Amino acid sequence: MKTIQHWINGSPADGTDTAPVFNPATGAEQARVVLGSAADVDAAVTAAARAFETWSESSLTQRTQVMFAFRQLLVEHEEELGRIISAEHGKTVDDARGEITRGREVVEFACGLGDVLKGSFSDQVSRGIDVHNFRQPLGVVAGITPFNFPAMVPLWMHPMAIATGNTFILKPSERDPSAANFVADLYKQAGLPDGVFNVVHGGKDAVDAILTHPGIEAVSFVGSTPIAKYVHETATSHGKRVQALGGAKNHAVVLPDADLEFAANHITAGAYGSAGERCMAVSVAVAVGDAADRLAGILERKAREVKVGPGDTPGTEMGPLVTKAAQERVENAVGTAATQGATVVVDGRGLKVDGHEEGFFTGPSLLDHVTTDMDAYKEELFGPVLAIVRADSLDQAIDLINANPYGNGTALFTASGEAARRFQRNIHVGMIGINVPVPVPMSYYSFGGWKDSLIGDNPIHGPEGIRFYTRPKVVTTRWPQQAQQVSAGFNFPTSN
């Protein structure tokens, strides 16, 4: 059986303990992944620190040339990487290719850092004195990433860090670890020096070693809110910068004036795509006024039409969940919703796919008449479950969303510009879609929610990513003529 190793200083590195990696479509163990220890993290930090000495002094042209080559390799190997992701995560190959494309957009942004990293210059701020500023890399930085996007979320981190002159250690999810090693090999083919990009696999031991290691300057994290809080608290207490993105409960509001067929079609894709295992998945449809009954009927029809099967089978729209435990948790949540008074309009529990009876499949579930005190509303289910909550007005819908502890993404379906403007100004959510169900911003904007969806104040990629992985210097200069004598003052310096 294949063993997935660490990648340290440009080559595979072995470990001692291992954990199973499953094929979610069959339920069978298909590989073992090594579990990193504090010693493995220290070895990666040592390699990265040594590489930083030269990589941080490389020219911007050299760094962007590597990014251009890396970007091209991602294009050429998209199908292969997509199938690796599908085999370990369970999502469809098409969906996996989609996440690679969205991650590649950050690489393309990193290719253009020459313009973004330009500093500023002020001439003659005082007699004979000029001021300019520039940004420098931090050093060794790390990323801790979730299972649901094994390519895209790491690509939101390491291209930004590496292109700005840092060296990087990635700790991917142990559930689908192979994509990280595949990307590491692409970097090597692109000409990235050994030690600049490293991969340490593992669980909590590896995470804690990263959060506390004195040689790591910054940590980026995407995952659940409780773990994001733990990461932020632990890493900041050890003097590190932290990006910590947490969970979500994303609402899509549908007004009576919306095209309900259009809205339901996109909400269905947003809810059940990738089996709902997205931090930007639509998990709540807020049906306003007399749109409710009509919308519920269309959503029911579309949920029943979703084609569930193995991710590598043509025509499949939704694959299995990532683990048996995830399958059981989602199906238990549907049962709990029914006991708490929700109407189970479409029940995805107990689905069996021919030839894959042991796979971790569950079908789309649609719940109606869900209230805000039910567990199906309060908890992040992270599965193919869509809850319909009914509201009397747009203002009531806004108040409902603002009262939710999460604030990652939200959407409004309407034909009214006034309603859209009122919604986007009054909603307490970081990323908003108007007739767009999953409003993930482009790479030249930053990604980050509000409230419990972002711990601290550091969003990811885009301009915020540049600021996170660099620190500024301001230089004040004077070049007096040799014959000129300039008297020094003992008072606080001013521009006079």
- Amino acid identity, position 279: C
Nearest-CA neighbor of 442 among 427, 429, 423, 461? 461
Annotate 152-165 with DSSP letters as a single string. Answer: HHHHTTHHHHHHTT
pLDDT at 26: 97
pLDDT at 181: 98
Six-digit token string for 281 = 């998945």
How many other β-carbons are positioned within 10 Å of the β-carbon of residue 486? 10
pLDDT at 493: 76
**Placement of tokens 């890396």 in the chain:** 70
Question: pLDDT higher for 327 or 16?
Answer: 327
pLDDT at 461: 96
Annotate 82-137 with DSSP letters as a single string. Answer: HHHHHHHH---HHHHHHHHHHHHHHHHHHHTHHHHT---EEEEEETTEEEEEEEEE
Nearest-CA neighbor of 111 among 66, 168, 156? 66
Share of residues in the chain with pLDDT > 70 (%): 99
Catalytic residues: 279
Annotate 382-430 with DSSP letters as a single string. Answer: -SSEEEEEEESSHHHHHHHHHHSSEESEEEEE-S-HHHHHHHHHH---S
List CB contacts of 314: < 8 A, sequence separation 6 or more.
none
User: Quick check: 457 pLDDT over 90?
Assistant: yes
- Per-residue confidence band for 486, with pLDDT thresholds at 50, 70 and 90: low
Nearest-CA neighbor of 181 among 7, 1, 2, 20? 7
pLDDT at 490: 79
Summarised one tens digit per residue, pLDDT across range 398-452 is 999 999 999 999 999 999 999 999 999 999 999 999 999 999 999 999 999 999 9
Give dist(CA 185, CA 396) in Å, integer: 51
Q: What is the mean pLDDT of residues 318-322?
A: 98
Summarised one tens digit per residue, pLDDT across range 128-170 is 999 999 999 999 999 999 999 999 999 999 999 999 999 999 9
Mean pLDDT estimate for the chain = 97
- Contact between residue 321 and residue 275 where contact means Cβ atoms under 8 Å apart: yes
Q: Side-chain half-sphere of 29: how many Cα atoms within 13 Å?
A: 10
Give dist(CA 128, CA 120) in Å, integer: 18
pLDDT at 496: 66
User: Quick check: 488 pLDDT over 90?
Assistant: no
Q: What is the mean pLDDT of residues 11-22?
A: 95
pLDDT at 489: 74
Annotate 240-261 with DSSP letters as a single string. Answer: -EEEEE----EEEEE-TTS-HH
Q: What is the three-class DSSP state of 267?
A: helix
- Per-residue confidence band for 485, with pLDDT thresholds at 50, 70 and 90: low
Q: What is the dihedral of CA 458, 7, 234, 403, to 10 degrees?
A: 50
List CB contacts of 343: < 8 A, sequence separation 6 or more.
367, 368, 369
According to DSSP, residue 223 is labeled S
pLDDT at 482: 80
pLDDT at 354: 96
Q: Is 495 exposed, middle or buried (0-12, 13-18, 19+ CB in 10 A)?
A: exposed
pLDDT at 443: 95
Share of residues in the chain with pLDDT > 90 (%): 95
pLDDT at 303: 98
Q: What is the mean pLDDT of residues 1-5?
A: 95
